[in-house]
Amino acid sequence: MALQGSILVVDDNRNIRVSLKYLLEGCFTKVLLVDTPELLPSMLRQEQIDVVLLDMNFSPGLNTGNEGLYWLREIKRLRPQAQVVLFTAYADIALAVTGIKEGAFDFVVKPWDNAKLKQTLTDAYRLAKGKRHNGKRMEQEPVDAMYWGNTPAMERIKVMTERISASDANVLITGENGTGKDMLAREIHRMSQRGNKQFVAVDMGAIAESLFESELFGHVKGSFTNAYSDREGRFEAADGGTLFLDEIANLPYHLQPKLLTAIQKRSFVRVGSNVSQPTDIRLICATNRDLNEMVRKGEFREDLLYRINTIHLHLPSLRERKNDIATLADMFVRRYANQYGRGDVRLSDEVLAALVNHSWPGNIRELQHVMERAVILADNDGIIASVQIQDSSKVDTAVTAEFISLDEMERSMVQKAIAMNNGNLSQAAVQLGITRQTLYNKMKRYGL
């Protein structure tokens, strides 16, 4: 059964393109082919591309692979959510590995194995759509240009970001869920001298405690059961670039000293090895929790807080940025209208007033999801006259809904539990009768 997605094959060899068209039509509902990467920008604007299979060499006589790396960066700039699989010859493998560090999903060597190629492209599609594979959620949030807005608080953050970009100082970003902490971290990286290097994001709340050291520091073959080969960790992958540790407050207390040591020494030891490896990283951390309060309660190490908190940036909630709500809503409407081919879609004055007056507990992420749903459900006349906005206790709409779905009820319960426990996810999970990981997954699902 074909995936509900599209793939773009970029290769100057006609025979390869024809072969791949027949092979991949059974995997994707739409298979697009171009013979030159010069067509990439227009194709990415015109089509909703999920996966790009990109050759690494196009100019006659050139086999450096640098063309592929250049166009990889262009694809990630123009459509960050698209996944790129590099198509390479044996001699290009080292460059393909460099490509992975710069954002490629994987590489496939020519001549290819049909089954392996299809599996790699299928996995890339699942990642592009945030779907599950082998029981693990594969997710990548779209990365867009930072919208600073017109509020004094955001203007101060913008000035500070520009000021610190040239340094390698550790940065701690705080703010409620959905305020754009991940986006600000990427903006700091983009503006820094490391902007052309890799940005490695780690969701600390999604790492199992037993895999913490392996995920962050890597492991050597045979170091534990199922360690069939050497594996680099995130500190190693981020070497020369930026390491972003999201949800840092979710790191268990007994594991915090291991992270502190790696940050202090700027070196790490792979699991199963005795060799210390240096790493050159710019560290950015983020959390929605009050780390000073956690220190007072003995839940977070004070020395670790001092180490990660050289520069502190606090993002305001959306309810503190009311002047930006209408502009953000319009921006999301235009984005999703383009993505879903809805043409000219706009918000009515009544809906805009409802949006501005809403409290937005889910902040910008909630607004984004509301606008996406509104565009999908918009009438053919292109005017959005009503939207569903989930409140913590009710559905607050421009045209009130008659009932609440099960998903909306669950979202409300999760939101209330988090609020009642002042953002303490462990206590909220206990109150709901679920594990912290299950709570975290539900927060991701509902954009909390």
Q: Does the structure show a pLDDT above 50 at 8?
A: yes
Alpha-carbon distance 427 to 299, whole Å?
13
**The pLDDT of residue 110:** 81
Per residue in 69-101, is it b (16+ CB within 10 Å) or e — as a string? bebbbebbeebebbbbbbbbbeebeebbebbbb
pLDDT of 298 reads 95
Quickly state the pLDDT bin for 170 (edges 50, 70, 90).
very high
Say how many Å lie between the first and final Cα of the chain, rounded.
33
- Rounded to an integer, the average pLDDT of 86-98 is 70
* 398 has a pLDDT exceeding 60: no
Mean pLDDT value of segment 17-39: 88
For the record, the structure tokens of 387 come out as 């939207």
SS (H, E, C) 158-210: HHHHHHHCCCCCCEEEECCCCCCHHHHHHHHHHHCCCCCCCEEEEEHHHCCHH
pLDDT in tens, 236-287: 989 999 999 999 999 999 999 999 999 999 999 998 888 899 999 999 999 9
Determine the pLDDT at residue 12. Answer: 87
3-137 falls under which CATH superfamily?
Answer: Response regulator (3.40.50.2300)
Q: How confident is the prediction for the chain on average, in pLDDT?
A: 82
User: Using only C-alpha atoms, what is the Rg of the chain?
Assistant: 23
Alpha helices in 267-405 (DSSP H): 291-296, 302-308, 322-339, 349-357, 363-377
- How far lies 159's CA from each of 152, 164, 213, in Å? 11, 9, 36
What's the predicted TM-score (pTM) here?
0.59
CA separation (Å) from 93 to 70, 106, 110, 206, 333? 16, 11, 10, 31, 41
Cβ–Cβ < 8 Å for 51, 124: yes
Distance of CA 263 to the CA centre of its chain: 23
- pLDDT bin (cut points 50, 70, 90) of residue 346 is confident
In 192-273, which ranges are continuous DSSP H helix? 212-217, 234-237, 256-265
347-368 confidence digits (pLDDT tens): 888 888 889 989 899 899 899 8
Q: Look at residue 382 in the predicted model and tell me its pLDDT.
A: 73
Q: Which two tokens stand for residue 140?
A: 């990548």
Tell me, what's the pLDDT at 286?
Answer: 96
Interatomic CA distance for residues 194 and 168, integer angstroms: 9
Pick the CATH number of 318-446 from 1.10.8.60, 3.40.50.300, 3.30.430.20, 2.60.40.10: 1.10.8.60
List pLDDT tens digits, range 274-320.
889 999 999 999 999 999 999 999 999 999 999 999 999 999 999 99
Is the pLDDT higher at 7 or at 58? 7
Instruction: Output the pLDDT for position 60.
Output: 61
pLDDT digits (tens, 9 = 90+) for 378-396: 777 677 877 777 654 343 3
pLDDT at 141: 38
- Give pLDDT, residue 390: 61
pLDDT at residue 426 is higher than 80: no
173 pLDDT higher than 90? yes
Q: What is the pLDDT of residue 404?
A: 46
**Tens digits of per-residue pLDDT, 132-147?**
344 333 434 344 568 8
Q: Where are the domains of the chain?
A: 3-137, 152-314, 318-446
pLDDT of residue 82 exceeding 50: yes
> Which candidate, 37, 27, 33, 30, places its Cα nearest to that of 121?
27
Write the CA distances from 57 to 39, 54, 67, 276, integer angstroms.
15, 9, 6, 37
Decide if 152-314 and 318-446 have a common fold. no
Angle subtended by helix axes 114-128 and 14-24, to nearest 10 = 70
**Token code pair at residue 14:** 């006609």
Query: Can you tell me the mean pLDDT for 99-126?
Result: 83
Highest mean pLDDT among 68-72, 103-107, 267-271: 267-271
pLDDT at position 65 is: 63
pLDDT the model gives residue 208: 80
Give the rounded percent of residues in the chain with a pLDDT score beyond 70. Answer: 87
Write down the pLDDT at residue 138: 40
Q: Is residue 63's pLDDT more than 70?
A: no
Q: Bigger pLDDT: 408 or 266?
A: 266
What is the dihedral angle through the alpha carbons of 157, 161, 163, 167, rounded to the nearest 10 degrees?
A: 140
For the domain with range 152-314, which CATH number is right: 3.40.50.300, 3.30.565.10, 3.90.1150.10, 3.40.50.1370? 3.40.50.300
Higher pLDDT, 209 or 93: 209
Give the H or E element holding residue 40: helix 40-46
* Whole-number pLDDT of residue 394: 41
pLDDT at 400 over 60: no
Q: What is the pLDDT of residue 348?
A: 86
